Amino acid sequence: MTAPKYHLTSYGCQMNKLDSELVESKLRQLGYVAAPAEADADVVLLNTCSVRQHAEDRVWSKLGKLRIRKRTDPGLVVGVLGCMAQEHKRYLLARMPHVDLVVGPSAFGDIDRTVEQARRKNGELAAEREPARTKHEVQGAGVVQVDHGVSGDTIVRDVRVRPHRSQAFVSIMRGCNMPCTYCIVPTTRGEEISRPVADIVEEAQRLCDDGVTEITLLGQTVNAYGRDLPGKPTLALLLRALHEIPALRRLAFITSHPNFLGPDLITALAELPKVARYLHLPVQSGSNRVLKTMRRGYTVERYLARVEQLLAAAPDFELHSDFIVGYPGETEADFEESVALLRRVDFAQSYVFKYSPRPGTVAAELPDDVPEAEKERRNQVLLAAQEELTLRRNVAHVGQTVEVLVEGASKVAGRLSGRTVHHRLVHFASDDLELLGQHVPVRVTSALAHSCIGELQAHDAAGARCAGPVEVGEQ
Ligand code: 5AD
Ligand code: SF4
C-alpha cells in the first residue's frame, strides 16, 4: 500500500502554525507523508483562524474550490481544523457535505485517529486498520471532534518536524480567561490551561539537542502562565529554568497582557541575558473610554506605568503592540489618542487591525458604527505613524554591528536573512547556507521601513549548523 499523502495549510497565528506542526508530527508517526502540492494529496487539511472575518473568508473560499475538486475525486478527505471548526461545526457539517472532518483546537491530540476514521467513512480505507477507539461524534456527512478531544499538548512532539532548523515555537499555555469584548479566542480555544514546567523544559531540551538555538514560548496571555497549575509557577520561573539549557541562545515569548507584567517578570527580563530584548504587549487603544468598553482591565496611565517600570529595569527593551481601529463607538478623538500613545511609547513595531465583529462576542451586540472607509483610513494613518517610528529606529542602527541569528535565504537572490535580539529583520549578502542557524555579526549599512540591510563581519564559526534553506520574507 502506498503511503497516504496529506497537505496542511495554516491560516492563523503562531499558535495555529505550531498546532499544524503537531498535527503533522502525529500523521507522520502513522506513516502519512507530506504531499508536494495540494493537488497530489489524499487528505487536505485547513488549520483555520476566527479572529477576524477576513481570515474566515479565505477558508470559505478555499472550501468552495475543494467542493468542486471533490466532484471528480470523491475519495478526497477534506478536514477543517482549528478555531473555525470549533466555531462553525454545525454549519460545516450541515451545509458542507464535502467536509469530512471537523477538529477543534482542543482536540488535536488524536487527530491521527480522526483522519483515519474520516478516510474509512469515505470508503478509501478498507477495514485493514483498527477502528478508532476514542470518542468521535459522527454527524451527518462528517466526523467531528471538538469539545471532548485529547489536547494537542499530549502529543509527544517529533522535534524534527519544524520549518526552521535553529528556531522553534513551544506552546506553554492554551486558551484565554480574559473578558475582552471583541475577541473570539476564549470561545474557540476555551479556558487557560498551562503545561507543567517540567514538560516544557523537557521539550525545549530535546529541541536544543536537535540544533535549536532560539525558542519562542507561545500563549494567548503568555505572562499569565501557571496560575492554574499547582504551586502557581510563573513565567519568570519558567524563563529562569529554560535559561539553564546551555545550547539555548535566545528565548522569547508572545503574547503578553499588560495586567500580568509584574515586578518578578520585569526582574527576570532584566537579569536573564538570553531573553530577547522585545516585549509584545498589545495596548489595543490609546483611549481610556475605548479600553473600558473593550474590558481590557487597564488604563493608558497604568499601561504607561508598567512600561516605565520595565524600561527602568531593562532599558534595552523595545515594545511591540497591537491596535484595533474602528471599535464600536470609537470617535476621531479616541483614535487620535491611539496615534498619540503609539508615538509616546515609541513602539518598535505594531500590528494594526480594523475592528471585525465576531458573532457571539459581547462587542458583536454593539452597532458596528465606524464606516469601513473610515476604518481603512484610521488603519492607514496608524500604520504610517508606526512605519515612521520603525524607520527611525532602523536608521539609528546604520553603522552599528548587530548579532543576527541567520534564519534563511532571503527572497532576493544572494542574500541571507535573520533577526536581531530586538526581532529586527536584517538582510545581508551571502550564499553560504552553512551560516543558517548561526549567530553572526552584521554591520548595518542601510535601513528600510521594515528591515535593515547589512554586511557580514568576520566571525568565529560558532553556533548551530542547520539542514535545509528556508525562505524569509523581504520587503
Ligand atoms: N477585530 C479586529 N481585531 C481583533 N483582534 C482580536 N479580535 C479582533 C477583532 N474582533 C486583534 C487584537 C489582538 C490580535 C491578535 O488580533 O489586536 O491582539
Ligand atoms: Fe483575546 Fe483578550 Fe484573550 Fe488576547 S487577552 S486572546 S485579545 S480575550
Q: What is the DSSP string of 179-239?
A: --TT--HHHHH-S-EEPPHHHHHHHHHHHHHTT--EEEEE-TTGGGTTTTSTT---HHHHH
* Banded model confidence at residue 107, pLDDT cuts 50, 70, 90: confident
Question: In this model, does residue 367 exceed pLDDT 50?
Answer: yes
Domain 157-396 fold is pyruvate-formate lyase- activating enzyme (3.80.30)
| 348 CA distance to ligand 2 middle (Å) | 21
What is the CA(356)–ligand 2 centre distance, in A?
14
The Cα-based distances of 336 to 369, 381, 390 in angstroms read 17, 10, 19
The reported pLDDT for the residue numbered 66 is: 95
Answer yes or no: is pLDDT of 271 > 80: yes
| Least trusted range by pLDDT, from 146-155, 175-184, 338-347, 418-427 | 146-155
- In degrees and rounded to multiples of 5, residue 284 shows phi and psi of 75, -40
pLDDT recorded at residue 475? 36
Ligand nearest to the CA of 14: 1
CA distances from residue 225 to 98, 106, 389, 392 in whole angstroms, order as listed: 39, 18, 31, 34
CA proximity to 261, closest of 224, 226, 301: 224
Residue 473: is its pLDDT beyond 60? Answer: no
| pLDDT (tens digit per residue) in 43-63 | 999 999 999 999 999 999 999
Q: Which ligand 1 atom sits closest to the C-alpha of 284?
A: 17
What are the residue ranges of CATH 3.40.50.12160 in the chain? 5-145
**Comparing C-alpha atoms, which of 408, 391, 388 is closest to residue 444?**
391
Average pLDDT over residues 321-350: 98
Please determine, for residue 392, whether its predicted confidence score (pLDDT) is greater than 90. Answer: yes
Range of weakest confidence among 127-131, 300-304, 337-341, 432-436? 127-131
The average pLDDT across 360-366 equals 96
What does DSSP say about strands 452-456 and 439-447: parallel, antiparallel, or unpaired? antiparallel
140 C-beta closer than 6 A to ligand 2? no
Q: Are 429 and 448 in contact (CB under 8 A)?
A: no
pLDDT tens string 203-242: 999 999 999 999 999 999 999 999 999 999 999 999 999 9
Ligand 2 pocket, residue 196 CB under 6 Å:
no
Q: Share the mean pLDDT of the chain.
A: 90
Q: Is residue 39 very low, low, confident or very high in pLDDT (cuts 50, 70, 90)?
A: very high
* Closest C-alpha to 432, from 472, 474, 466: 466
Residue 185 Cβ < 6 Å to ligand 2: yes
Range from 69-78, 229-238, 295-304 carrying the lowest mean pLDDT: 69-78
Q: Is the predicted pLDDT of residue 474 greater than 70, yes or no?
A: no
CA of 178 to the centre of ligand 2 (A): 6
pTM of the model: 0.90
Cβ distance 328 to 276 under 8 Å? no
- Cα(233)–Cα(188) distance, integer angstroms: 25
For residue 140, what pLDDT is reported?
44
Note the pLDDT of residue 472. 44
Ligand 2 probe mutation, 176, 353, 358, most atoms within 8 A of CB: 176
Closest ligand 2 atom, CA of 183?
1
Residue ranges, CATH 3.80.30.20, the chain: 157-396
For residue 282, report the distance from its CA to the centre of ligand 2, in Å: 10
221 ligand 2 Cβ < 6 A: yes
CA 33 to chain centre: 24
405 SS3 class: strand
Closest Cα to atom 7 of ligand 1: 183
- CATH code for the part of the protein at 401-464: 2.40.50.140
Q: Which of 100-104, 129-133, 420-424, 458-462 has the lowest mean pLDDT?
A: 129-133
Sheet with 43-48, edge to edge strand ranges: 33-34, 5-10, 43-48, 77-82, 101-103, 142-145, 137-139
* Better pLDDT: 462 or 416: 416
Residue 253 scores a pLDDT above 50: yes
Pick the ligand that lies closest to the CA of residue 322: 1
Asked whether residue 447 carries a pLDDT value surpassing 90, the answer given is yes
Which residue owns the Cα nearest ligand 2 atom 1? Answer: 183
Q: pLDDT confidence of 124, banded at 50, 70, 90?
A: low
- Average pLDDT (93-110) is 89
The owner of cell 534553506 is 469
Distance 461 CA to ligand 1 centre (A): 42
Find out whether the beta carbon of 362 lies less than 6 Å from any atom of ligand 2: no
How much is the average pLDDT of 107-112?
Answer: 88
Tell me, using a 6 A CB cutoff, whether residue 183 lines ligand 2: yes
Rounded percentage of the chain residues whose pLDDT exceeds 70: 92
What is the pLDDT averaged over residues 58-83?
93
Is the CB of residue 307 below 6 angstroms from any atom belonging to ligand 2? no
pLDDT at 148: 61
Q: What is the pLDDT of residue 158?
A: 82
Q: What is the dihedral sign for C-alpha 223, 224, 230, 234? A: positive
Which pLDDT value is given to residue 147? Answer: 66
Q: What is the pLDDT of residues 138-189, one digit of tens each?
A: 444 567 776 666 777 777 788 888 888 889 999 999 999 999 999 999 998 8
Lowest mean pLDDT among 2-11, 84-93, 114-123, 428-437: 114-123
8 A C-beta contact, residue 66 and residue 78:
yes
pLDDT given at position 471: 40
Does the Cβ of 176 fall within 6 Å of ligand 2? yes
As a CATH number, domain 5-145 is 3.40.50.12160
Which of helix, strand or coil describes residue 77? Answer: strand
Comparing 146 with 434, the larger pLDDT belongs to 434
The protein residue with its alpha carbon nearest to ligand 2, atom 2, reads 180
Residue nearest atom 5 of ligand 2, based on CA coordinates: 178
Q: Which tens digit of pLDDT belongs to each residue from 396-409?
A: 999 999 999 998 89
Pairing of strands 214-218, 43-48: unpaired
